């Protein structure tokens, strides 16, 4: 078919070969008047797609779910999950996986339309998404990628020409999400709870094949698989902490096997350093607060372990023991990555005993002085000690002496220290007020220029350019308390 050769779609559909229990064949529901709002050309090219062609009517029709590329096998995935601690059956309620794109470098990526209409897993939902939330996911996920954090990507957003109804009427939209897979902890919980004989193992074999092919011949491969996922999640969450990212809804269905960040709903970046920071309007208990994220990651992985237990060992006691060992390994990997990352943020090349205390003390002073997380580290990098009130306090000046002394203990030059810090302390993050301004212009005025400028600035966060300066100012006080919403 013309479409495939011109645009470059190259689908293989391995997920569709899993037992039927794991998905429902589901075509996207066509929409009235699709319009391309934004296309990620660089991502398109890396997927082997012709960006120019994607901008045509054909491309838009695919992003809208009105047309399917040759080789597509549209489906909605089944999964379960612990949402705020409670187990439920879920599944793609508004997302359709249209195929797995094989790239010119032979990598495989899910191409999924989010907001593509109702599926058997929609429960009461309309299967649709709003323009604002989909653009928000686009901006934040692409920014996370630029910050060096594993994440699903955003290929395009189209509007549907149909309104959706939330608290108010919103323009409907569809996001094309790209992921190294959409396998979740919740997919395994689903298999363990409702899978028939052998189906859990089939899913594990599939995940190993897709993400950890190196271990597929090992005799204890399911245990190694668990260990690898634990490692990836520990590293991922350490990266979130280092950058001040708050996911907001760390349910087990929003936790990938690949170790990519997924599901940009109520997420937001922390401004003032405070471990109790929560943005999500529905997280009243603060379960998913910044400071709780590492522990919740471990809790989620314990649910993952419970699902996999029968594959670890015939004897349940032994299997539980094995799982426990790996869960303490999670804490070890997390601590190691956090500490290494924090050292780099402070220009420290090698580990020393006193580093943990040095880091902890800085964070205590930051919290007490309500210091902006990102800007504190940026100011330390450039030694801009006039910029924040924090730096005028005696406690900071005491701390600074210790830091200087510690820096002097290493052989690296000042320039090397500064470079390390520049590479680890971003000039910009997607500040909530900036993101809001971009979305408002887009949704209210169909003016996409604010968003495009923001995306440009965020695309190279460690560059520390002059233009980025304007984007690093903290939100005005009127912006607090900032709230994000799940009902997207």
Which residues are catalytically annotated? 253
Angstrom distances, CA of residue 307 to CA of 82, 197, 207, 273: 12, 14, 14, 36
Residue 128 binding target from Mg ion, ligand AMP, none, CB below 5 to 8 Å by type: ligand AMP
Q: Which is nearer to Mg ion, 40 or 256 (CB)?
A: 256
Radius of gyration of the chain (CA): 23
Residues 109-128 interacting with ligand AMP (rule: CB under 6 A):
121-122, 125-128
Contact 229, 209 (CB under 8 A): no
Indicate the angle between helix axes 394-408 and 355-368, nearest 10 degrees: 160
Q: Is 266 in the site for ligand AMP (CB under 6 A)?
A: no
Total number of residues that touch ligand AMP (CB under 6 A): 17
| 160 is a site residue for ligand AMP (CB under 6 A) | no
For the bound state, the minimum distance from the C-beta of residue 21 to ligand AMP, rounded and expressed in Å, comes to: 16
Write down the least CB distance from residue 264 to ligand AMP, Å: 9
Residues 371-400 that bind ligand AMP (CB under 6 A): none
198 binds, among ligand AMP, Mg ion, none (CB under 5 to 8 A by kind): none
Closest to Mg ion by CB, 92 vs 372, is: 92
* Partner whose binding site includes residue 92, from ligand AMP, Mg ion, none (CB under 5 to 8 Å by kind): ligand AMP
Q: Determine how many CB atoms are found less than 10 A away from the CB of residue 20.
A: 11
Residues 426-485 that bind Mg ion (CB under 5 A): none
**Minimum CB distance to ligand AMP smaller for 101 or for 252:** 252
Choose which of 80, 90, 428, 438 interacts with ligand AMP (CB under 6 A). 90
- Phi, psi angle pair for 128, to nearest 5°: -115, 170
- Cα(244)–Cα(246) distance, integer angstroms: 6
Nearer of residues 5 and 88 to Mg ion, judged by Cβ: 88
Q: What's the rounded Cα separation, in Å, for the pair 182 and 177?
A: 10
Using rule CB under 6 A, residue 91 touches ligand AMP: yes
Looking at residues 288 to 347 of the shown chain, list those that interact with ligand AMP (rule: CB under 6 A): none
b/e map 203-230, b = 16+ CB within 10 Å: bbbbbbebbbeebeeeeebbbbbbbbbb
Pairwise CA distance, residues 344 & 409, whole Å: 15
Q: Which residue, chain included where needed, has tokens 């990526």?
A: 109
Which residues in 331-390 contact Mg ion (CB under 5 A)?
none
Nearest CB to Mg ion, comparing residues 256 and 374: 256
Cβ distance 176 to 34 under 8 Å? Answer: no
Tokens describing residue 395: 């406690």
Report the residue number, 250 or 429, with the smaller CB distance to ligand AMP.
250
Binding span for ligand AMP by CB under 6 A among 58-66, 84-92, 174-182, 205-213: 84-92
Which part of the chain contacts Mg ion (CB under 5 A), choosing from 197-205, 261-269, 278-286, 427-435? 261-269
Contact 256, 179 (CB under 8 A): yes
Among 143, 160, 241, 254, the residue binding Mg ion under the rule CB under 5 A is 254
Q: Which of 107, 108, 127 is nearest to 24 (CA)?
A: 127
Say whether residue 94 binds ligand AMP (CB under 6 A).
yes
Sole binder of Mg ion in the list 231, 263, 283, 372 (CB under 5 A): 263
Q: How far is the CB of 253 from ligand AMP (least distance, A)?
A: 6
91 binds, among Mg ion, ligand AMP, none (CB under 5 to 8 A by kind): ligand AMP
Q: How far is the CB of 453 from Mg ion (least distance, A)?
A: 30
Phi, psi of 447 (to 5 degrees): -105, 110
Which helix (DSSP H) or strand (DSSP E) does residue 210 occupy?
Answer: helix 199-211
Q: According to the binding rule CB under 5 A, does residue 261 interact with Mg ion?
A: no
Which of 304, 273, 267, 265 has its CA nearest to residue 291? 273
Segments in 346-447 forming alpha helices (H): 355-368, 373-382, 394-408, 414-424, 432-445
Residues 6+ apart with CB under 8 A from 178: 43, 47, 101, 109, 110, 111, 112, 152, 153, 154, 155
Residues forming contacts to ligand AMP in the complex (CB under 6 A) are 90-94, 121-122, 125-128, 249, 253-254, 263, 265, 486
Residues forming contacts to Mg ion in the complex (CB under 5 A) are 254, 263
């Amino acid at each position: 078919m013309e479409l495939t050769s011109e645009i470059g779609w190259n689908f293989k559909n391995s997920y569709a070969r899993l037992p039927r229990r794991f998905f429902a064949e589901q075509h996207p529901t066509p929409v009235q008047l699709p319009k391309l709002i934004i296309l990620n050309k660089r991502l398109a090219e890396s997927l082997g797609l012709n960006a120019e062609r994607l901008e045509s009517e054909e491309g838009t029709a695919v992003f809208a779910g009105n047309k399917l590329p040759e080789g597509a096998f549209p489906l909605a995935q089944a999964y379960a999950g612990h949402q705020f601690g409670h187990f439920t059956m879920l599944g793609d309620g508004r997302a359709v996986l249209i195929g797995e794109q094989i790239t010119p470098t032979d990598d495989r990526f899910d191409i999924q339309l989010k907001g593509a209409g109702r599926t058997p897993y929609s429960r009461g939902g309309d299967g649709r998404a709003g323009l604002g939330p989909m653009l928000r996911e686009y901006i934040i996920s692409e920014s996370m990628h630029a910050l060096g954090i594993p994440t699903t990507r955003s290929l395009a957003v189209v509007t549907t020409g149909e309104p959706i109804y939330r608290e108010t009427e919103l323009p409907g939209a569809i996001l094309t999400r790209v992921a190294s897979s959409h396998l979740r902890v919740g997919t395994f919980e689903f298999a363990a709870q409702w899978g028939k004989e052998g189906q859990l193992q089939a899913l594990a074999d599939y995940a190993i094949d897709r993400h950890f092919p190196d271990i597929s011949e090992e005799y204890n491969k399911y245990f190694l698989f668990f260990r690898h996922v634990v490692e990836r999640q520990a590293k991922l969450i350490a990266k979130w902490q280092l950058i001040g990212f708050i996911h907001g809804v760390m349910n087990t269905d929003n936790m990938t096997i690949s170790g990519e960040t997924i599901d940009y709903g109520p997420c937001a970046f922390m401004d003032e350093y405070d471990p109790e920071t929560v943005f999500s309007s529905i997280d009243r208990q603060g379960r998913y607060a910044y400071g709780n994220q590492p522990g919740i990651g471990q809790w989620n992985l314990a649910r993952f372990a419970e699902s996999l237990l029968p594959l670890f060992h015939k004897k349940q006691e032994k299997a539980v023991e094995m799982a426990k060992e790996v869960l303490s390994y999670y804490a070890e990997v997390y601590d190691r990555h956090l500490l290494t990352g924090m050292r780099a943020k402070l220009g420290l090349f090698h580990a020393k005993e006193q580093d943990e205390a040095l880091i902890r003390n800085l964070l205590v002073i930051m919290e007490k002085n309500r210091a902006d997380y990102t800007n504190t580290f940026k100011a330390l990098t450039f030694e801009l000690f006039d910029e924040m009130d924090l730096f005028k306090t005696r406690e900071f000046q005491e701390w600074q002496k210790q830091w200087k002394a510690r820096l002097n203990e290493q052989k690296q030059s000042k320039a090397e220290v500064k470079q390390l810090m520049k590479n680890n302390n971003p000039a910009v993050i997607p500040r909530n007020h900036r993101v809001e301004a971009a979305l408002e212009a887009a949704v209210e005025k169909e003016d996409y220029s604010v968003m495009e400028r923001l995306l440009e600035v965020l695309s190279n966060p460690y560059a520390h350019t002059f233009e980025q300066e304007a984007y690093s100012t903290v939100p005005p006080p009127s912006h607090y308390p900032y709230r994000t919403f799940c009902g997207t």
